Structure 1
Amino acid sequence: MTNTSDTRPADDAAQAAQPSRLHRLMRYIPLVAPVLLWAVPCWVLLYSGQNWPLPVTLAGTALFVLGLIGMPLAMMRGHGRRQQDWAAITGDTLLGSSWVLFTWSVLLGILVRLGLTVVGVGDGQDRARIVTWTVLGMAVVLLAWGYIEARRVPRVRELDVRLPRLGAGLDGTRVALITDTHYGPLDRARWSARVCEVVNSLEADLVCHTGDIADGTADRRRAQAAPLGTVQATRARVYVTGNHEYYSEAQGWVDLMDELGWEPLRNRHLLLERGGDTLVVAGVDDVTAESSGLAGHRAHLAGALDGADPDLPVLLLAHQPKFVDRAADAGIDLQLSGHTHGGQIWPFHHLVRIDQPALAGLSHHGTRTLLYTSRGTGFWGPPFRIFAPSEITLLVLRSPQQPTAL
């Protein structure tokens, strides 16, 4: 027989070394990523065989160097201790622009050049210059379209959700979901008012906000958040905290939402009764809450369900989709989440999938639990949404005892 005690120390050492190497690598990402975001497009557009006149090459290189230096400086001034909105807008816009340039420099730099070579168009210089203009044209179109998509009032996405344990009296319950409004450096007070008007037009029984209300303190973003006080629901308006609340004095946002008449579901629940049947509507703080150090802030599902009849169906609000593992273990019927933004700027969704079990839409987890992940109502940081449209969601809850509406 093999003596397992002889092999365990080596295994433990290997496992300890692996996280250590990973952590060391992660420390370099903030340094390497900005360089790649600006250096790769600079090379593809200016130095891969175009042979531009010297003044063009120098001017283009200067712009890329300015972006490389200016982006992190602006983001530090905008999102650091100074919290200067103009700097945040500048840094965020440069970040989104560099991501788009990087993505399409890589994709088109390969595909267009290969296609032109195959069909025999021009010489090396001609092909390189065609690549440059194609990439620049694509980037301008996508950034303009992405800006319009980010700033518009989201379209309503409506879907029926059948819950096996939902009583017939609750069939047709209308749940409006907004999330990730991210009121921030760009003033969106008018946008916020129009979003609330759309929500009111849905005539929902329950209106939910699943966190990331804003970037910045409640005092600074009060004017943008104020229209939330006009939201109407026949039964309740409820919310939970997101991770961004804990970057911006979370207790101030709790106090402001109380002032605006929204009911907090911070590790607690309420009962929604209709037609002789009852739905438990519960909520938890974001999973990052405990690390914030704020007293009483943590994600505590057992506390949220304390005193609830275990035979009743449960609708749970949790900011991040990855909380669904705990929800499924507890037999939750439906979890509503946001956080992912659907990736916001393609192809960032591939990175989101590393951290979260779902990107957008309805998914099934465990034996009973459904998860609906919203792409978000607003945007974070870069004022662009590319192939990841925002949404206001209307979920109509359906009982198995009633036919699903067509």
Structure 2
Amino acid sequence: MKYVPRVALFLAIPALLFAVPWWLLVYTTTSGSSLWIGSAVFLLAFLALPGSMILGHGRTHSDTAAVVGDTLLGTIWVLFSWSVFGALARAVLIVAGVEDPVRSRVVAVAVPAIAAALLGWGAVEARRVPRIRTVPVPIAGLGAGLDGLRLLVITDTHYGPLNRRRWSERVVEAVNAQRPDIVAHAGDLADGPLERRRAQVDPLGKVEAELGRFYITGNHEYYGDAPGWIEYMTGLGWQPLHNEHRVVERGGDRLVMAGIDDPTGVTVPGHGPDLAAALSGADPDLPVILLAHQPKQITDAVKAGVALQISGHTHGGQIWPFHYLVRLDQPVVAGLSEHGRTRLYTSRGTGFWGPPFRVFAPSEITVLTLRAA
């Protein structure tokens, strides 16, 4: 019985996502056999969504089912969002005196056309090599020798059921072309078993950064094999920051690169965020750059006097207007923000999770140029 509320919620959300477009595009515009056929299509899609998501992201890890479920989820989200706008447009047409069937047909054509265009564009955006975004960040206490240091951030690569080995290689080429001093991966490396995803992750071993390559776990590592990914990234030459820090030096000046686990890590013995442990033994006079997967970890970073926290997790919302829901859970969705003396940079992510679409939330490879302040 304790699982009944979860199951009910699991079914209620897709029911709402399908009900609105069904009402707008089928119920209000068709009749007779067309109504029954349209309703049957929506019902089958509704049943296919939770089934394919369970098969794809559950214990069986069926990549085919995951692709079907993820694509269906993204499609119905876009169709639902624009059906809401379509319902509003329909109300405006009623007030304007436009009669049926013209009123309903106009909306029934416009909504699917807009959704299809956005999904096509979103699919291209999700699969492209991310744009380079350069952001200057003033760091209090940064020595002259470190002024201008280029810290490149990738995050939320989410290597998954769609084989993106070639995309991974092209991302590495784009990263190396920026000639970064430091490269950081801020978590959510991959989804699914390590043995299935390692071929997509392997190109990261060719990332070049003179002062270090650092990696932290995101929440998705803890849905699989986080310790395994930490070990694997170590084998590729990266330095996992598992509640620990390293000191970076250039031109006689130093800074602290620290990293903490994602809060989901408490489900694994010996894991979970511990900022005190991460900064233990660090020189308190040195500026601290902290890798923390979720922006809401900024609360502890502020208390610890961290100069800059780098996060991902939000994907910038990934598919508009989902960012409004993300904002309910996180203090920031994307970009550079100030929290007292601590700055937070939240990346929109380098890859995508689940639905293979990005709508009004482009991916990014970020070059943070540290400046003495």
Q: TM-score, normalised by structure 2?
A: 0.97
Distance across 2 between alignment mates of 1:221 and 1:387: 28
TM-aligned CA distance change 1:378 to 1:94, over 3 Å: same
Matched, 1:132 2:137: no
Partner in structure 2 of residue 360 of structure 1: 334
Unaligned runs of 5+ in 1: 1-22, 401-406
Q: 2:271 aligns with which of 278, 287, 297?
A: 297
Contact 1:188 1:224 in 2 (8 A): yes
Q: What amino acid maps onto 1:167 in structure 2?
A: G
Distance across 1 between alignment mates of 2:33 and 2:106: 19
The number of residues matched between the two structures is 371
Distance across 2 between alignment mates of 1:219 and 1:255: 13
Partner in structure 1 of residue 71 of structure 2: 93
Q: What amino acid maps onto 2:79 in structure 1?
A: L
Contact 1:196 1:231 in 2 (8 A): yes
Identity of aligned residues (%): 57
Partner in structure 1 of residue 158 of structure 2: 182
Contact 2:11 2:50 in 1 (8 A): no
Q: 1:37 aligns with which of 17, 25, 32?
A: 17
Q: What amino acid maps onto 1:358 in structure 2?
A: V
Superposition pairs of residues 271-290 of structure 1, within 5 angstroms: 271-290=247-266
Matched, 1:218 2:191: no
Q: 1:315 aligns with which of 286, 289, 311?
A: 289
Which segment is superposed worse, 146-155 or 58-67? Answer: 58-67
TM-aligned CA distance change 1:160 to 1:140, over 3 Å: same
Superposition pairs of residues 159-308 of structure 1, within 5 angstroms: 159-290=135-266, 292-293=267-268, 295-308=269-282
1:301 Cα shift?
A: 0.5
Q: What amino acid maps onto 2:356 in structure 1?
A: P
Structure 1 or 2, whichever has the larger Rg, is: 1
Distance across 2 between alignment mates of 1:249 and 1:399: 39
Contact 1:217 1:252 in 2 (8 A): no
Which segment is superposed worse, 52-61 or 23-32? Answer: 23-32
Matched, 1:157 2:130: no
Distance across 2 between alignment mates of 1:225 and 1:106: 39
Q: What amino acid maps onto 2:72 in structure 1?
A: L
Partner in structure 2 of residue 19 of structure 1: none
Matched, 1:385 2:363: no
Contact 1:180 1:211 in 2 (8 A): yes
Partner in structure 1 of residue 121 of structure 2: 145
Contact 1:217 1:253 in 2 (8 A): no
1:380 Cα shift?
A: 0.4
Partner in structure 2 of residue 3 of structure 1: none
4+ residue segments displaced more than 6 Å: 23-27
Which segment is superposed worse, 235-244 or 102-111? Answer: 102-111
For residue 308 of structure 1, give the secondary structure of its aligned residue in structure 2. coil
Q: What amino acid maps onto 2:93 in structure 1?
A: L
For residue 135 of structure 1, give the secondary structure of its aligned residue in structure 2. helix
Q: What amino acid maps onto 1:246 in structure 2?
A: Y
Q: What amino acid maps onto 2:332 in structure 1?
A: A
Which segment is superposed worse, 174-183 or 58-67? Answer: 58-67
Unaligned runs of 5+ in 2: none
> Deviations 1:213-252 (Å, cap 9, x if unpaired)?
0001211101100100010001100000000000111111
CA RMSD of aligned residues (A): 1.4
Q: TM-score, normalised by structure 1?
A: 0.89
Distance across 2 between alignment mates of 1:221 and 1:193: 14
Q: What amino acid maps onto 2:26 in structure 1?
A: L
Q: 1:83 aligns with which of 18, 38, 61?
A: 61
Q: 1:331 aligns with which of 290, 305, 324?
A: 305
Contact 1:344 1:389 in 2 (8 A): yes
Partner in structure 1 of residue 372 of structure 2: 399
Partner in structure 2 of residue 340 of structure 1: 314
